[in-house]
């Protein structure tokens, strides 16, 4: 591997400053709380509750049957899913029934822009871009639309088949009652189930007239969005960019898919790089960063959290399996990042790993890191002991899919900004397949000051790296560097920027539903159906035994039918999501 020297001017010319941050992650409605939780080692993974889905209905620890869920724990953001539509000039009627991530992303992007200092100063909207990483998995709003447009009619066909004596009026009433259980679906809500509208709405509401687009690179989505935004800045197509990632979809269907692949943890814990690692745990989240060229950010007096020195990406190419980890592909992304950055991997003090808690994935990652970090370069002295702290925020919030790279980026950025090496949870016995004495990395299990040798000449800034490796063989690796401001910058930043409020009150906010309602026979309570079927029977004198038996049989058949419909409703979502996964491959990433 070759790279230019650390003081090479061209590599600094391409450096990008992170000047604003906002996020919503499990246990954290804000970036202040997110960092506080990280430093304190807070485990924000919990059991699925009523706000998510009925865990008791689906849970089966021992079942291998597709559709059953053996891991019901996750990192959820249900309690923080609030949005004030009037703040952005949006009609409240267009929110319910839409995909909730559309509005949480808008809120988070606006907060990131405010954090960057643009709540009281203007920017050139014609040279501002918004790039978001999001998987194309079907969201709550899209499922609601499918239920309205297809599923209810399919249910009515089944009802008509099991109750052929039902008249048209009664059938219409059943349909009306079933649709009454769903959220609204109309011309106001339909735009917010189209993924591309997500970035378009942000551009519309925040006045961005540069590119707005959505990228799907699975778990690497947000770092690929970051790379795309950086390219626009570096080629001077834009002067300001927001890059981010979002995953707000931990529905039962999503869990069924990953349980079907055998990827989730039986113990309900992510144990990255641990001997007892047994799989990953799903999570939700939104993360956004505001970017400018480093020179411009210094000139304009922006607060600079950290500088991005370089980013590399790759695909696995021909390999053993579409979903299996590939060491060569990961190595290639890392090498490209260090060559672009012009820095040595031996200067990295913190590595925020992909670290999903799957044995195969973590083993592949640590071997890729060893190949790159321990590779001899020029006249560099050989390092004989581990020097780089290794961690994964997934141990605290779960695997947030398309937002996972952004969660790691924000964690590493704040670690540089606060000069703290943050902890990783659940590593009791480091993976015994790894010779840690010969590894460049050590597991950092507790928060500690990030101490460096400031007597060294020239002074070496602290550096961190972040990895994201996605389903389908897409890899990304980014290199961050602390920004050491001059005295004039420190004065300006002290005067201009105030600490953000971790518990901001939003008086006009409404709660967003993050899951879709399930159809059930409850919607027919009290309705008179053929054969004297009454879900809430009234007392009557001497009922006809034959008629009552027939009614009971019809009711039982109908309830069983509705239970099957309830289960198969999720199958619609599963089939859509499974369309981009090959379930014959190893789910190790």
Catalytic residue, candidates 23, 163, 219, 388: 219
Cα distance between residue 555 and residue 553, in whole Å: 5
Catalytic residue, candidates 148, 247, 399, 477: 399
What are 528's strand-pairing partners? Answer: 534
Cα distance between residue 391 and residue 354, in whole Å: 9
State both tokens at 410: 């924000």
219 is catalytic: yes
For residue 476, give the nearest of 405, 408, 414 by alpha carbon: 405
Catalytic residue, candidates 96, 247, 354, 477: 354
Q: Where are the alpha helices (DSSP H) in 436-534?
A: 487-496
148 is catalytic: no
With DSSP H G I counted as helix, E B as strand and the rest as coil, what are the percentages for the chain, rounded to 5?
40, 15, 45
What does the angle CA 446 – CA 452 – CA 456 come to, to the nearest 5 degrees? 165
Q: What are phi and psi of 59, to 5 degrees?
A: -70, 135
Indicate if the alpha-carbon torsion angle 54, 95, 27, 406 is positive or negative. Answer: positive
State both tokens at 181: 């259980």
Diameter over CA atoms, the chain: 100
Cα distance between residue 416 and residue 312, in whole Å: 20
454 contacts: CB under 8 Å, gap ≥ 6: none
For residue 483, give the nearest of 275, 338, 328, 301 by alpha carbon: 301
What are 430's strand-pairing partners? Answer: 274
Q: Hunting for tokens 């370069």 — which residue is that?
A: 377
For residue 13, give the nearest of 267, 290, 296 by alpha carbon: 296
120 is catalytic: no
Quick one: how far is CA 499 from the chain centroid?
Answer: 25
Cα distance between residue 192 and residue 93, in whole Å: 12
Active-site residue list: 219, 354, 399
């Amino acid at each position: 591997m070759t790279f230019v020297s650390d003081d090479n001017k061209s590599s600094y010319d391409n450096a990008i400053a992170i000047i604003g941050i906002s996020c919503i992650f499990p246990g954290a409605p804000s970036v202040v709380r997110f960092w506080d939780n990280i430093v304190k080692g807070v485990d924000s993974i919990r059991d699925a509750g009523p706000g998510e889905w009925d865990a008791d209905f689906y849970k089966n620890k021992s079942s291998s049957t597709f559709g059953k869920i053996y891991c019901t724990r996750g990192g959820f953001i249900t309690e923080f899913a609030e949005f004030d539509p009037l703040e952005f000039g949006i009609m409240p009627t267009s929110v319910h029934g839409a995909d909730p991530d559309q509005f949480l992303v808008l809120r988070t992007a606006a907060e990131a822009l405010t954090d960057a200092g643009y709540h009281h100063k203007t920017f050139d909207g014609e040279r501002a871009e918004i790039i978001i990483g999001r998987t194309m998995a079907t969201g709550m709003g899209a499922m609601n639309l499918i239920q309205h447009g297809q599923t209810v009619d399919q249910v009515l066909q089944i009802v008509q088949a099991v109750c052929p004596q039902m008249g048209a009026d009664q059938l219409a009433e059943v349909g009306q009652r079933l649709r009454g259980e769903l959220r609204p679906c109309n011309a106001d809500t339909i735009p917010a189930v189209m993924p591309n509208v997500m970035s378009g709405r942000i551009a519309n509401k925040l006045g961005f007239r540069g590119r707005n687009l959505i990228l799907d690179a699975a778990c690497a989505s947000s770092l690929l969005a970051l790379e795309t935004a950086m390219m626009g800045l570096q080629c001077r197509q834009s002067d300001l960019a927001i890059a981010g990632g979002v995953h707000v979809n931990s529905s039962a269907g999503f869990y069924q898919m990953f349980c079907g692949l055998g990827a989730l943890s039986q113990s309900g814990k992510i144990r990255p790089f641990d001997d007892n690692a047994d799989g990953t745990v799903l999570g939700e989240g939104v993360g956004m960063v505001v970017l400018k060229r480093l020179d411009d950010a210094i000139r304009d007096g922006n607060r600079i959290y950290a500088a991005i020195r370089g980013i590399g990406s790759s695909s696995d190419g021909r390999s053993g399996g579409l979903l299996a980890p590939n060491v060569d592909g990961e190595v290639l992304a890392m090498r490209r990042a260090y060559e672009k950055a012009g820095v040595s991997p031996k200067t990295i003090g913190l590595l925020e790993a992909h670290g999903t808690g799957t044995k195969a994935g973590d083993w592949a990652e640590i071997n890729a890191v060893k190949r790159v970090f321990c590779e001899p370069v020029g006249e560099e002295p050989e390092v004989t002991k581990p020097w780089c702290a290794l961690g994964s925020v997934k141990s605290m919030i779960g695997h947030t899919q398309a937002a996972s790279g952004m969660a790691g980026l924000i964690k590493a950025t704040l670690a540089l900004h606060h000069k703290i090496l943050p902890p990783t949870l659940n590593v009791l016995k480091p993976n015994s397949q790894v010779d840690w004495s010969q590894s460049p990395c050590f597991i950092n299990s507790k928060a500690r000051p990030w101490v460096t040798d400031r007597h060294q000449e020239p002074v070496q800034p602290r550096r961190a790296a972040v990895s994201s490796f996605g389903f389908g063989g897409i890899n990304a690796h980014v290199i961050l560097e602390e920004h050491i401001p001059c005295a004039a910058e420190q004065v300006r930043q002290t005067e201009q920027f105030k600490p953000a409020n971790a518990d901001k009150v939003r008086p006009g906010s409404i709660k967003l539903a993050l899951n879709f309602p399930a159809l059930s026979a409850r919607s027919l309570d009290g309705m008179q159906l053929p054969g004297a079927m009454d879900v809430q029977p009234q007392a009557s004198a001497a009922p006809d035994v034959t008629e009552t038996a027939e009614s009971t049989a019809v009711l039982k058949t109908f309830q069983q039918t509705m239970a099957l419909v309830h289960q198969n409703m999720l199958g619609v979502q599963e089939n859509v999501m499974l369309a981009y996964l090959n379930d014959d491959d190893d789910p190790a990433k």
